[in-house]
Structure 1
C-alpha cells in the first residue's frame, strides 16, 4: 500500500508537470517549480474543503460545488491506490481528471483571497507569460514517431498481416497500419499467454487466424526472447529494431496458446472464467 501511495503522488506530479525527473535544463527545472506551486495550491485547497465539510455544523451553508469536486478527487485517487492495475508512471492517465478538478478547487478556495492582494495581478501576469512560453515551446518542438512505427512499416511492407505482441506494441502497430497488420496482445511472462484484457476470444482462434510473428519490447529485460524460443522453438527470421525485436515463425503461434485471464490462467482464452473484465 505504501508503494501505491508513493506511485500515486508521483503520477499526480506528472500530470501537473511538476515531476522533476522529467525536466532537463535550468528553464525546464524552473517551470517544474511553477507547476509544483500549482500542485501544492490544489492539494491545500483539497484539505481546506474537506476540513470545512467535516467541521461544518448541521444547517450551516457550504460550498456544494467545491465539496463535489473534492469527492471526485478523493474517489479517483483512492481507487488508484487500492487498484492492482497501476504499476508505473504510465498509469498517470488513470488520475488525469485530478488536474482539472484540482484547478477548479484551487480557484474557488484561493481565487477570492488572491484577488484582494495588491500585487496579485502582476504576479499572475508573470505566471501566465511563463506558462504561455512553455506551451509555445512544446508546440514548436519536433515530434518523434511513436514507438514501433518502424516495426509497423516493416511488417506492412513484408505482407505480415497477423501476429502477437506485448500490450503496447500490439495496440501501436495495429493502429499505425490502420488494421492492415493485426497484432494481438499477449502477456510476455512464462509462458507467453493470450491477454484477456480489452480483447476478443476469436482473435486467438487458430481456426480463424494464423499468427506467424511475435513482437517483443526489448527495453524491458524481463521480456526476452528466451521464453518465446522455449515455447515455440527458434524463429525462422529475427529482425531487431530500436527497442523492439520481431520473431517470425513458420507455424501458427495461436495453436496451444494459453491465456492469462486476470488473475487466473487457463489452457486457452476460450476457457477463461466468465467473471473478471468483460471482453469487448
Structure 2
C-alpha cells in the first residue's frame, strides 16, 4: 500500500511462476520446459509503479527486482490480489498458446478454465473445482453415477453467436481402488470438467478429444497419499508446482527482505 498526499493507493509486490511439462508417451518421459519466474509490482488508482530493486543484506550482490505492471483503475483492497492474479493468468495463456502454435498436433492441457485474451484455439481447459453446475436436474444426476474413466456427453456453454462458446464435458478421474467413501470423500470426488473453444474445434474433433481424455486424465491422476487435491490434481501439474515453488524462493526470507526495505524507507508494511 502506498500514498501520495491525502490519497492511499492499494498495490502489491508479487512473484509469479509459469511453466509446462512436456509428456512424451511414446518413450515414457516427462520434462519441465519454459519455466519463468517474474517479480512484479503494481498499484490501483491508475498509479504507475516504479521499477524497484531491493538489495540483499550482508553485502551480497543478489537483488530482488520487481518489474512494474500496468495499473488498474480500481483502488480497493481487493485490487492487491487481482493485480497479481491477472498477470499470472495472462502469462499462462500466452505460454499455452505458444506451445500450441509450435506443436499444433500436440494436445495442450491448460490447468484451469479457458480465458479469453486473444482468439480461440484448440487448447484443452482442465477445471478441477466445481464453482458452477452447468447441467440441469436429470442431466446433473449423471455426475454421481460416473465411474473412473467415464464421462458425460458433450454439451455447449455460452449463448448462440458468442465466439467464446465452449464444448464441455464432465469426467471422473482417479482409479477404482481409491474408494471415496473409505477415505471420507464426498461422492463427487474426482469429478473434473474439461472444455474446448467451439470456434476452434469441430464437434467430431471434440468427441475424439473427449474420448481420449477418459484414459489420459485418470492415468495422470494424483494419489491421496501424495497430494491432498487428489485425484483432481494431475501428477505432472503437482510436480511442476513444486519445482516452480522452489525456484520462486523462500517466502519467509523474501517477506523479511521486503519488510526491511519498507523500514529503510520509513514506510509501514
| Higher RCO structure, 1 or 2 (CA under 8 Å, sep 6+) | 2
TM-score bracket for the superposition, by shorter chain length: under 0.3
Q: TM (normalized to structure 1)?
A: 0.21
Q: Greater share of strand residues, 1 or 2?
A: 2
Rg larger for: 1
Q: TM (normalized to structure 2)?
A: 0.21
